[in-house]
């Protein structure tokens, strides 16, 4: 229903802009949610986008700008007058400004930096100097800080005076003269306390925080674990330098999940939306892995060629190769997906390898036994193969699932131990390895049992 409303608004706005009825278009967008306004702007033709953007109220325009894709932001910045750019930059929060600058070409960055004050420029440079994907790189320095000697009344005065420029005012941070983090206090705590109560008596001193060099994914997990709206970020001397807010954490989780999904599908990660990624860009992301997997799959062909004599002696064996390889690949994919999830959530560590392998081997034997039993009945009653052939296929099936689970569970943990992303070892690579191993097991069992 909501999508239909948005589509209808888009059509209406397009018609109003086409007919140059700007007051009508402005009336529609003036109370719109910033995220919805950003979507509509980006769906309009490029020549219409700046026109509608200029119809937005000043504060809504800045919020909407923060939601837009870098390409759309660049287009608008290129067309902004100095006054318009001043108004947008004045309203943007620091972390949104940094995110924008990271995606812009150098000439646009220079234009933007000319329209921010020296203090903001200093903070931008400080955030940009933190390692990529660290908590420092996604934090904002716009938070409310209080002193422990303040009374509740004084705290509210400070919040009213400085809170307009801050990203969040619900959680306030108590620091000393050196900005060392001493505690936190929420607006709820302040509202429920007496006006003359001193902050040190109501602040929470058991503070959870991360450092500027903590991985951004770990910071996002901490926000999720403790149900915080914001998480303080400290430097090496435990001085408060910024906060990571929950909206930043959601962005990180989405980006990391998207990246993991793409790697698990053997696609080089991309930070651009699918519909805005060109054919050749998509080709460049996919073809390297496809080439690697194609070349690695030639090992399977080599194994088949080496057992050509066995196949010629018992052609019926050929019929079950796809089933065995697919089942092994599917089982390995299930195992790797489970382990990769556990690694990403911090549930599995390198020291857990023996327990993980024992569990996966137990699961493999149960799954393999169930599938082998069902397959054995099918082979005898439906396919009507010889008892010995059915035995070879079913024993291989159990072995295939066992090998697949061992490979699927151990490779991601090994990759993590070596400092690699575990997702690069996911389904396509595991399937290639398992296929080769399963074929070797299959034909060696067949040679031993059938004497071929």
Q: For the domain that residue 89 is a member of, what is the CATH number?
A: 1.25.60.10
Total domains in the fold of the chain: 3
> What's the pLDDT at 296?
66
Residues 109, 156, single domain; the answer is no
How confident is residue 189, by pLDDT bands cut at 50, 70 and 90? very high
Residue with tokens 């996919």: 286
> What average pLDDT does this structure show over 195-203?
95
Residues 293, 439, single domain; the answer is yes
Residue 402 lies in a domain: yes
How confident is residue 421, by pLDDT bands cut at 50, 70 and 90? confident
Domain end (from 67, 101, 129): 129
> What's the pLDDT at 397?
94
> What's the pLDDT at 1?
40
pLDDT for residue 260 is more than 80: no
Domain end (from 129, 156, 186): 129
> What's the pLDDT at 157?
95
C-alpha–C-alpha distance, residues 433 and 414, integer Å: 15
CATH code assigned at 378:
1.10.357.20
pLDDT for residue 434 is more than 90: no
> What average pLDDT does this structure show over 361-390?
92
> What's the pLDDT at 365?
96
Least confident of 30-39, 192-201, 235-244, 280-289: 280-289
How confident is residue 135, by pLDDT bands cut at 50, 70 and 90? very high
> What's the pLDDT at 149?
94
CATH code assigned at 220:
3.10.580.10
C-alpha–C-alpha distance, residues 439 and 449, integer Å: 15
Looking at the chain, the whole-number percentage of residues with pLDDT higher than 70 is 91
pLDDT for residue 261 is more than 70: no
Residues 22, 77, single domain; the answer is yes
Residue 257 lies in a domain: no
Domain end (from 105, 129, 153): 129
Mean predicted lDDT score pLDDT of the chain: 86
Residue 259 lies in a domain: no
Residue 195 lies in a domain: yes
pLDDT tens, residue by residue, 318-344: 888 889 988 988 898 888 888 888 887
Residues 431, 305, single domain; the answer is yes
> What average pLDDT does this structure show over 48-60?
89
Residues 120, 151, single domain; the answer is no
Residues 191, 46, single domain; the answer is no
Residue 266 lies in a domain: no
> What average pLDDT does this structure show over 380-407?
92
Residues 156, 291, single domain; the answer is no
> What's the pLDDT at 145?
94
Residue 234 lies in a domain: yes
Residues 195, 312, single domain; the answer is no
Is the pTM here over 0.75, yes or no? no
Residue with tokens 């996604």: 138
Residues 180, 75, single domain; the answer is no
pLDDT for residue 272 is more than 70: no
Residues 30, 124, single domain; the answer is yes
> What's the pLDDT at 79?
86
pLDDT tens, residue by residue, 76-131: 988 888 888 888 888 888 888 888 888 788 888 888 888 888 888 888 888 888 98
pLDDT tens, residue by residue, 214-250: 999 899 989 988 888 899 999 988 899 999 998 888 8
Residues 114, 156, single domain; the answer is no
C-alpha–C-alpha distance, residues 379 and 366, integer Å: 20
CA dihedral 279, 280, 282, 285 (to 10 degrees): 170
Residue 168 lies in a domain: yes
Residue with tokens 């400004």: 97
Residues 341, 300, single domain; the answer is yes
Q: Give the domain range for residue 160.
A: 145-249
> What average pLDDT does this structure show over 190-206?
94
Residue 258 lies in a domain: no
């Amino acid at each position: 229903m909501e999508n239909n409303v948005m589509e209808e608004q888009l059509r209406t706005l397009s018609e109003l802009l086409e007919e140059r009825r700007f007051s009508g278009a402005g009336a529609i967008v003036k109370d719109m949610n910033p995220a919805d306004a950003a979507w509509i702007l980006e769906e309009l033709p490029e020549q219409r986008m700046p026109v509608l953007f200029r119809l937005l109220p000043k504060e809504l325009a800045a919020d909407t700008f923060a939601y837009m894709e870098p390409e759309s932001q660049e287009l608008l910045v290129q067309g902004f007058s100095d006054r318009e750019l001043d108004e947008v930059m004045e309203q943007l929060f620091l972390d949104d400004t940094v995110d924008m600058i990271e995606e812009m070409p150098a000439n646009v960055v220079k234009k933007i930096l000319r329209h921010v004050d020296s203090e903001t420029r200093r903070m931008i440079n400080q955030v940009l100097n933190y390692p990529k994907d660290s908590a420092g790189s996604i934090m904002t320095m716009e938070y409310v800080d209080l002193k422990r000697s303040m009374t509740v009344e004084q705290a509210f005065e400070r919040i009213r005076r400085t809170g307009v420029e801050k990203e969040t005012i619900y959680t306030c941070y108590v620091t000393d003269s050196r900005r060392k983090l001493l505690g936190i206090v929420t607006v709820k705590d302040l509202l429920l306390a007496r006006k003359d109560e001193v902050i040190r008596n109501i602040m929470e001193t058991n503070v959870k925080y991360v450092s500027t060099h903590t991985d951004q994914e770990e910071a996002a997990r901490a926000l999720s674990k403790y149900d915080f709206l914001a998480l303080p970020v400290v430097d090496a001397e435990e001085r408060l330098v910024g906060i990571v807010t929950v909206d930043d954490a959601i962005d990180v989780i989405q980006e990391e999940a998207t990246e993991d999904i793409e790697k698990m599908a053997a696609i080089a990660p991309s930070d651009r939306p699918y519909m805005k990624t060109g054919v050749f860009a998509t080709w460049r992301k996919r073809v390297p892995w496809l080439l690697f997997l194609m070349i690695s799959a030639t090992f399977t062909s080599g194994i088949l060629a080496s057992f050509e004599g066995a196949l010629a002696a018992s052609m019926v064996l050929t019929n079950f190769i796809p089933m065995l390889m697919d089942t092994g690949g599917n089982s390995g994919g299930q195992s790797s997906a489970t382990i990769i999830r556990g690694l990403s959530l911090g549930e599995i560590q390198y020291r857990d390898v023996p327990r993980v392998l024992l569990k996966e081997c137990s699961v493999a034997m149960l799954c393999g036994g169930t599938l082998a039993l069902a397959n054995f009945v099918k082979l005898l009653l439906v396919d009507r193969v010889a008892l010995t052939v059915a035995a070879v296929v079913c024993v291989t099936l159990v072995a295939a699932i066992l090998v697949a689970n061992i490979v699927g569970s151990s490779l991601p943990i090994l990759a993590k131990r070596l400092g690699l992303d575990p997702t690069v070892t996911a389904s396509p690579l595991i399937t290639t390895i398992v296929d080769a191993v399963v074929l070797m097991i299959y034909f060696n069992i067949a040679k031993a049992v059938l004497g071929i």
